[in-house]
């Protein structure tokens, strides 16, 4: 019950950061698939038998994701804010 909410918060933070860095909606949505790969790797590793998904391992994975959530939360000021984009100067294309 801990892993899913922490993963959702990480996904939302990642989506906000990506959308503030790219100029196109399509490219922002294509970067969203990157959140799928770590979870699919954990699933495949558990199916193959490399790791066992018991309560302890899920708590460890949740702790790692929580640390990433906190790190991204404190790093969000370093990315351009969408509300300030209209105030930014845009360079005119050279002819």
Per-residue pLDDT of the chain (95 residues; tens, 9 = 90+): 788 888 888 888 888 888 777 877 787 778 878 888 888 998 999 999 999 989 999 999 999 989 998 988 887 766 665 555 555 455 555 55
Q: What's the pTM value of the predicted model, to 2 decimals? A: 0.69
pLDDT at 48: 94
Q: What is the DSSP annotation of the chain?
A: --HHHHHHHHHHHHHHHHHHH-S-HHHHHHHGGGGHHHHHHHHHHHHHTSS---HHHHHHHHHHHHHHHHHHHHHGGGS--GGGGGGS--PPPP-
């Amino acid at each position: 019950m801990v892993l899913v909410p922490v993963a959702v918060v990480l996904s939302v933070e990642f989506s906000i950061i990506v959308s503030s860095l790219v100029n196109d909606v399509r490219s922002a949505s294509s970067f969203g698939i990157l959140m799928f790969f770590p979870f699919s790797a954990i699933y495949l590793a558990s199916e193959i038998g490399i790791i066992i998904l018991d309560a302890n391992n899920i708590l460890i994975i949740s702790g790692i994701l929580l640390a990433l959530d906190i790190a991204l939360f404190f790093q969000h000021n370093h990315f351009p804010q969408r509300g300030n984009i209209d105030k930014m100067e845009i360079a005119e294309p050279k002819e």
